[in-house]
Chain A
Amino acid sequence: MDPVLTRYVREPNGHTLDFFLQHQGYEGLKKALAMKPGDVIEMVKASGLRGRGGAGFPTGLKWQFVLKDTPLPKYIACNADESEPGTFKDHVLMERNPHLVFEGCLIGCWAIGAKVAYIYIRGEFYHVQKVLEAELAKAYDKGYVGKNILGTGFDCDIVIHRGAGAYEAGEETALIESFEGKRAQPRIKPPFPAVSGIYNCPTAVNNVETLCNVPGIVLNGVEWYTSLGPDKNFGPKLYCVSGHVKKPGVYEATMKTTLRELIFDYAGGVRDGHRLKAVIPGGSSVPMLLPDQLDIPASFDDVAKAGSMLGSAAIIVMDETTCMVWVAKNLMYFYRHESCGKCTPCREGGDWLYKILTRLENGEGSMRDIDLIASVAGNIAGKTLCPFGDAAAAPALTTVKNFRSEFEDHVREGRCTVPSDWRGWRVAAGAH
Chain B
Amino acid sequence: MYDRQVMDTVTLTIDGRQVTVEKGRTVLQAAIESGIKIPYYCYHPGLGIDGSCRVCIVKIEKMPKLQTSCSTTVTEGMVVHTRTPEVVEARASVFEFLLINHPLDCPVCDKGGECPLQDFSYSFGPNESRMEFPRRVFDGEGVRADVDFGPTLMLNRNRCILCTRCVRFMREIDTDAQINITDRGYGSEIATFQEQGVHSLLSGNLMDVCPVGAITTKDYRFKARPWDNPEAVDTICTLCEKGCNTTAWIKAKPEWAKGPQLIRMTPRLNPDVNGYWMCDIGRFDYHWIEGDHRLQRPLVRSEAGTLEPTDWTNALSKVADKVTAAGGTGALRFFVSAQASLEELFLIGRLGGAFGLPESGVAVGWRQREKPQPKHAKFKIPPTDAPNVNGARVLGFPVKTGSDGTADISAFRAAVEQGRISALYVFDPGPDGYIGDVSWLVEAKRAGRLPLLIVHGVVMTELASVADIVLPGAAWVEKDAAYVNAQGRLQGASRAMAPPGDAQEDWQVFVNVGLALGAGLTYTSSAAVRADLAATLSANEAFAGLTSLAFSRPVTARHWLQASNPSERWKWDFMFQDLPPVKFAGTPRATSPPQTIALREVD
Contacts and interface: CB of A to CB of B under 8 A. Distances in A.
Interface in A136-187: 166, 183
A351 B101 CA distance: 10
8 contacts: A188-B49, A341-B188, A342-B52, A342-B162, A343-B53, A344-B98, A383-B57, A383-B94
Contact of A340 (B57, B97, B101, B185): B185
A392 B388 CA distance: 60
Contact of A345 (B97, B161, B187, B188): B97
Interface centre among A166, A352, A382 (most CB of B within 10 A): A352
B283 interface: no
A341 to B, nearest CB: 4
A354 B175 CA distance: 38
A344 B52 contact: yes
B186 A347 contact: yes
B184 A166 contact: yes
Nearest to A368: B130
A interface majority secondary structure: helix
B468 interface: no
A166 B52 CA distance: 19
Chain B interface category by residue count: 20 to 34
Interface residues of A, number: 28
A182 to B, nearest CB: 9
B186 A350 contact: yes
A348 interface: yes
A379 B97 contact: yes
B66 A379 contact: no
A355 interface: yes
Given A341-B185, A379-B97, A347 B90 contact: no
Given A166-B184, A339-B185, A339-B186, A344 B94 contact: yes
A177 to B, nearest CB: 13
Nearest to A168: B184
Nearest to B186: A351
A50 to B, nearest CB: 20
A348 B54 contact: no
A382 B90 CA distance: 10
A385 B186 contact: no
A338 interface: yes
Interface in B89-105: 90, 93-94, 96-98, 100-101
A345 B54 contact: yes
B503 to A, nearest CB: 52
Contacts of B161: 344
Interface in B117-175: 130-131, 133, 136, 161-162
B63 to A, nearest CB: 12
Contacts of B130: 372, 375-376
Contact of B53 (A337, A338, A340, A344): A344
A376 B94 CA distance: 10
Contacts of A350: 185-186
Nearest to A341: B188
B99 to A, nearest CB: 9
Contacts of B55: 344
A385 B184 contact: no
A348 B98 contact: yes
A336 interface: yes
Interface of B: 49-55, 57, 65-66, 68, 71, 90, 93-94, 96-98, 100-101, 130-131, 133, 136, 161-162, 180-181, 183-188
- The list of the 8 closest CB pairs from A to B, nearest first, reads A379-B93, A341-B188, A339-B185, A351-B186, A348-B97, A342-B52, A341-B185, A188-B51
Contacts of B181: 183, 341
B97 A344 contact: yes
Given A340-B184, A383-B66, A349 B97 contact: yes
Contacts of B53: 343-344
A340 B164 CA distance: 13
Given A382-B65, A385-B52, A338 B93 contact: no
A384 interface: yes
A352 B133 contact: yes
B90 A348 contact: no
Contacts of B188: 341, 347
A349 B185 CA distance: 10
A372 B129 CA distance: 11
A203 B576 CA distance: 43
A188 B70 CA distance: 11
B66 A348 contact: no
Nearest to A184: B184
Given A341-B162, A355-B133, A348 B93 contact: no
Contacts of B185: 336-341, 347, 350-351
B57 A348 contact: no
Nearest to B131: A352
A166 B94 CA distance: 25
B54 A343 contact: yes
Interface centre among B55, B100, B186 (most CB of A within 10 A): B186
Given A351-B136, A379-B90, A383-B57, A341 B97 contact: no
Contacts of A342: 52, 162
Interface string A321-348: 0000000000000001111111111011
Contacts of A384: 54
A375 to B, nearest CB: 8
A345 B49 contact: no
Given A339-B186, A382-B66, 5 more contacts: A188-B49, A337-B185, A339-B184, A383-B66, A384-B54
Contacts of A351: 101, 136, 185-186
A352 B51 contact: no
Interface string A371-393: 01001100100111100000000
Nearest to A379: B93
A341 B101 CA distance: 14
B71 A188 contact: yes
Contacts of B65: 382
Nearest to A182: B180
B94 A352 contact: no
B101 to A, nearest CB: 6
Interface centre among A166, A339, A343, A382 (most CB of B within 10 A): A343
Contacts of A188: 49-51, 71
A145 to B, nearest CB: 34
Contacts of A343: 52-54
A183 B71 CA distance: 20
Contacts of B49: 188
Interface centre among B52, B93, B96 (most CB of A within 10 A): B52
Contacts of A355: 133
A183 B100 CA distance: 25
B186 A348 contact: yes
B80 to A, nearest CB: 17
Interface string A96-108: 0000000000000
B71 to A, nearest CB: 5
A384 B57 CA distance: 10
A31 B184 CA distance: 46
Interface centre among B49, B97, B131, B180 (most CB of A within 10 A): B97
A183 B50 CA distance: 14
B100 A345 contact: no
Interface in A87-144: none
B222 to A, nearest CB: 29
Interface centre among B65, B90, B94, B161 (most CB of A within 10 A): B94
Contact of A383 (B90, B186, B187): B90
A384 B66 CA distance: 9
B54 A344 contact: yes
A46 to B, nearest CB: 29
Nearest to A355: B133
Nearest to B90: A383
Nearest to A346: B185
Given A188-B71, A336-B185, A383 B93 contact: yes
Contacts of A183: 180-181
Interface string A38-81: 00000000000000000000000000000000000000000000
B125 to A, nearest CB: 12
